[in-house]
Amino acid sequence: MSNIRRKIERWFETFGDLIYRRRWLAFILILVLVAGLASQVPKITFDLSTEGFLHKDDPARTTYTEFRKDFGRDDLIIIAIQPPKVFDMAFLGKLKSLHEELEKEVPYLEDVLSLVNARNTRGEEDSLIVEDLLENWPRDEADLEALRKRVMSNVLYQDRLISQDGRFTTVVIKTNSFSSLAKEQDVLAGFEEEESGNGEAESEELQFLTDEENKAVVDAVRRVIAGYENPDFRIYMAGMPVTVDVIKRTMLHDVSRFVRLVLLTIGICLFLLFRRVTGVLLPLLVVVFSALSTLGLMSIFQVSFKLPTAILPSFILAVGVGAAVHLLSIFYQDFQKTGDKKGAICHALGHSGLAIVMTSLTTAAGLASFSASQVAPIADLGVFASVGVLAALVYTIVLLPALLAIIPLKVKKSGSDNSRRLFMDRILSVTARFSTGHPKSITCISLGLIVLSILGASRLTFSHNVIGWLPEGVPIRVSTEKIDRELKGTIALEVIVDTEQENGLYDVETLNLLDGLAAEMVEIQGDDFFVGKATSISDILKEIHQALNENQPEFYTIPQDPKVIPQEFLLFENSGSDDLEEVVDSQFSRTRFTIQAPWLDFLKYQPFIPEIEDRFLRAFGERAKITLTGMMAIGSRTIYAAIHSMKESYIIAGCVITIMMILLVGSLKIGLVSMFPNLLPIVITLGVMGWFGFPLDMFSMMIGSIAIGLAVDDTIHFMHNFRRYYSDSGDVGDAVQKTLHTAGRAMLVTSVVLSLGFFIYLFASMNNLFYFGLLTGLTIILALLADFFLAPALMALIHRPVRK
């Protein structure tokens, strides 16, 4: 293996000579490539929706798409209003004005629902009248009192349009299910769809309301309500479209700030290390080119920017600089001694080229373990973060030497950095002596930390709560919690009941089962979970039946005569109301059953969703096909997929990186042992999370695979240099000393840059990014300590001293 390593080093030296001679060609080619990719960055799109966490072909997402095609959106904008008194002439007038202005100003609107136009179904002689609740405006207090009684006695209004205590009322905004852009495309695609013979082409063309369209909706709603809000007209706005908009605004603000802070941090660290302008600007150019190339490729492949991929730009900036630091460290050392630029470039590539390639490949492998994730944005992160790392590798070994060859450099006068260098040398020397002098103690302490950390890791819990990522006191979080308390829910679980036969929903027993299940659902409760409301087509039928029987309360029930049911539904449709379209398909074979619940961590829904499904399956048996969908189901599927994918990615990353480490060091035994310093930081971090109660969410789940890919970089540089020096001297202490005095400097600097790059997330507005940055930065520091202390200790235990 030693001869093979020498041949590879000579090949890198030859490559350095080639780059030196073709420096302008290399520079121009890369500049053209980056310019082309960077031009695509402004075209990148955003998708922060809940369903966007799943791949387009995920069964849960395709089911949800079909649901929206048939029944419209279930993620509504809810505006809750708290006046001094709801049933007041002045308030109702203001409510009507708000309602009408929303209808006029909000784009992509399907419906606005409030007490103004709530469905009021009543019978008058032999006629069924379906009209707006306030079609006949109240004239005096007696009319207001009659209105109050009518509203408070209507179970369909309660916890949807009016709170049970009558203190809150709502305006519910339902937007179009699909983008207007998609509809325009569908007109042109009609002939192709007809030829396909099925609905697959149509489904592929359908696109949910785009991010820009959603933003236009929320902005318009905000503008309108701003003109009405005052102490006597308190407004709380919630719902998934609003949540998505808030998170996007927060994310964009944080991302732009992170990029600036990461660049500043890297620049300061590079200046302190090299004290050269080129030592600062060239690595920054490498990482900026890498980030632009990655984002450009995302745009070209039409991969949307999602919440987990928000870390991508600053991540690439921080991670990509490591290879450049290692190359420049060796280059400047040799150039300072010889003054020969070409020789220094060849020497730097020969010395560190193999290690740089291997560290980049292991980092990419750790990140690529996410690429098979069932969670779409994590899979995207795995692919494009790997691409960014590999782009940084290419620019480091091609662009960086080319620029060093082009830019005039001078040998620095000695003495200016001697004191600083001597101080660092003393620290590294003490570290080397201590780690090789107390190998058993260091190893025992490490084993003790592992045991303690495993105990802590056993206390870990999982979490997926998008609103919980936002700080307490943020309006969307306050509004959601307020509406959940007062109106019993802001999120829905949709149960699709498919009788698989035309007019199957005219069946009395089917309607009785739906009615009975609604009563069952509201009895379901847990520690935090409860069902606030359950509605279905049976509620509309009971309303019709009551109206046709002189509005008597005792007739608010399902008619048991099979001949009456289709007649009553027909009367309702002929009344001019289209409300049935929201709950049943045109064939009367499929219907939705909506279960309203408060917004919680999606993990807390998981015990109840199977229970609800089981109750429907037992009730209907072979009578109907049962399918669960909606925001609650999508979110629960996401956290399940994330947990499953985390296990896979950890195993894949660990196995692939271990194999690469064995191949690099040329020894199965040493390769396996060298993984111990890489796994120790991850185990400790998981233990810290468990002991301090930090949950494993969509971001913290990624720490393990990211950290093992980054931590192994320093271990590779350590082992690569240790094996070189140990083969020369046969003395562990001497080999560790030389390793830390050469590669150790760059290891220290890259670890500081990386950890600071992640600690910058402590300035994040969202809690999940805060903890992700804190824990990943901690892991990188622990990895450096493991490479400075544990790795030398293990080498001292494995290698016996050679007597001369």
What type of residue sits at position 794?
L
Per the structure block, which two tokens stand in for 623? 């009578």
Q: What is the C-alpha to C-alpha distance for residues 780 and 750, in angstroms, rounded to an integer?
A: 10
What does pLDDT average to over the chain? 88
Q: What is the C-alpha to C-alpha distance for residues 658 and 433, in angstroms, rounded to an integer?
A: 28
pLDDT tens digits for range 359-377: 888 888 888 888 888 888 8
**Which residues are paired to 178 by β-bridges?**
208
Element (H, E) at 26: helix 23-38
**Which residues are paired to 491 by β-bridges?**
597
SS3 418: helix
Q: What per-residue confidence (pLDDT) applies to 210?
A: 82
Element (H, E) at 195: helix 180-196
Q: What is the C-alpha to C-alpha distance for residues 703 and 210, in angstroms, rounded to an integer?
A: 31
Per the structure block, which two tokens stand in for 443? 């190893």
Q: What is the C-alpha to C-alpha distance for residues 695 and 639, in angstroms, rounded to an integer?
A: 12
Phi, psi of 500 (to 5 degrees): 60, 25
- H helical segments located in 197-340: 200-205, 211-226, 240-274, 277-300, 312-338
User: Mean per-residue pLDDT for 215-237?
Assistant: 95
User: Mean per-residue pLDDT for 101-127?
Assistant: 92
User: Mean per-residue pLDDT for 95-123?
Assistant: 95
**Which residues are paired to 128 by β-bridges?**
123
Q: What is the C-alpha to C-alpha distance for residues 701 and 462, in angstroms, rounded to an integer?
A: 9
pLDDT band at 417 (very low <50, low <70, confident <90, very high): low
Q: b/e string for 618-636 if b means 16 or more Cβ within 10 A?
A: ebbeeebebbbbbbbbbbb
Q: What per-residue confidence (pLDDT) applies to 421?
A: 65
Q: What per-residue confidence (pLDDT) applies to 203?
A: 43
Please identify which residue in the block is written with the tokens 């707006």. 132
Q: What per-residue confidence (pLDDT) applies to 801?
A: 60
Is pLDDT above 70 for 171? yes
Q: What is the C-alpha to C-alpha distance for residues 210 and 10, in angstroms, rounded to an integer?
A: 54
Q: What is the C-alpha to C-alpha distance for residues 77 and 597, in angstroms, rounded to an integer?
A: 15
Provide the Cα torsion 787, 791, 792, 798; round to 10°: -170
pLDDT band at 397 (very low <50, low <70, confident <90, very high): very high
CA-nearest of 395, 280, 410 to 341 is 410
Q: What is the C-alpha to C-alpha distance for residues 553 and 547, in angstroms, rounded to an integer?
A: 9
User: Mean per-residue pLDDT for 13-17?
Assistant: 92
User: Mean per-residue pLDDT for 229-247?
Assistant: 93
Please identify which residue in the block is written with the tokens 């001078």. 410
Q: What is the C-alpha to C-alpha distance for residues 489 and 487, in angstroms, rounded to an integer?
A: 6
Per the structure block, which two tokens stand in for 338? 């010889």
Answer for the pair 499, 623: CB distance below 8 angstroms, yes or no.
yes
DSSP string, 203-218: HHH--BPPHHHHHHHH
pLDDT band at 186 (very low <50, low <70, confident <90, very high): very low
User: Mean per-residue pLDDT for 390-417?
Assistant: 86
Answer for the pair 566, 503: CB distance below 8 angstroms, yes or no.
yes
With both helix axes pointing from N to C terminus, report the angle between 703-729 and 2-21 in degrees, rounded to the nearest 10.
110
Phi, psi of 339 (to 5 degrees): 75, 5
Q: What is the 3-state secondary structure (H, E, C) of 426-481?
A: HHHHHHHHHHHHCHHHHHHHHHHHHHHHHHHHCCCCECCCCHHHCCCCCHHHHHHH
Q: Report the range of poorest mean pLDDT among 31-45, 148-162, 404-418, 737-751.
A: 404-418
pLDDT tens digits for range 498-555: 999 999 999 999 999 999 999 999 999 888 899 999 999 999 999 999 999 988 989 9
The 10 Å Cβ neighbour count of residue 581 is 13
281 vs 108, 266, 293, 394, CA distance in Å? Answer: 47, 10, 18, 17
Beta strand 169-175 pairing with 77-82:
antiparallel
Is pLDDT above 70 for 800? no
Q: What per-residue confidence (pLDDT) applies to 269?
A: 85
Q: What per-residue confidence (pLDDT) applies to 422?
A: 73
Environment class of residue 319 by beta-carbon count within 10 Å: exposed (0-12), middle (13-18) or buried (19+)?
Answer: buried
User: Mean per-residue pLDDT for 632-643?
Assistant: 88
Is pLDDT above 80 for 213? yes
Answer for the pair 295, 310: CB distance below 8 angstroms, yes or no.
no
What type of residue sits at position 170?
T
Q: What is the C-alpha to C-alpha distance for residues 399 and 538, in angstroms, rounded to an integer?
A: 69
Is pLDDT above 80 for 418? no
Residues 130, 136, 142, 148, CA torsion sign: positive
pLDDT tens digits for range 424-457: 778 889 999 999 999 999 999 999 999 999 999 9
**Which residues are paired to 77 by β-bridges?**
173
| Max avg pLDDT among 208-212, 526-530, 621-625 | 621-625
Q: What per-residue confidence (pLDDT) applies to 204?
A: 44
Q: What is the C-alpha to C-alpha distance for residues 766 and 571, in angstroms, rounded to an integer?
A: 52
Answer for the pair 511, 538: CB distance below 8 angstroms, yes or no.
yes
Answer for the pair 566, 511: CB distance below 8 angstroms, yes or no.
no
Q: What per-residue confidence (pLDDT) applies to 419?
A: 58
pLDDT band at 315 (very low <50, low <70, confident <90, very high): confident
User: Mean per-residue pLDDT for 93-121?
Assistant: 95
Residues 177, 178, 184, 187, CA torsion sign: negative
Q: What per-residue confidence (pLDDT) applies to 206?
A: 63
pLDDT band at 566 (very low <50, low <70, confident <90, very high): very high
SS3 128: strand
First-to-last alpha carbon distance for the chain, in angstroms, is 24
pLDDT tens digits for range 654-679: 788 788 778 777 778 888 888 888 88
Is pLDDT above 80 for 205? no
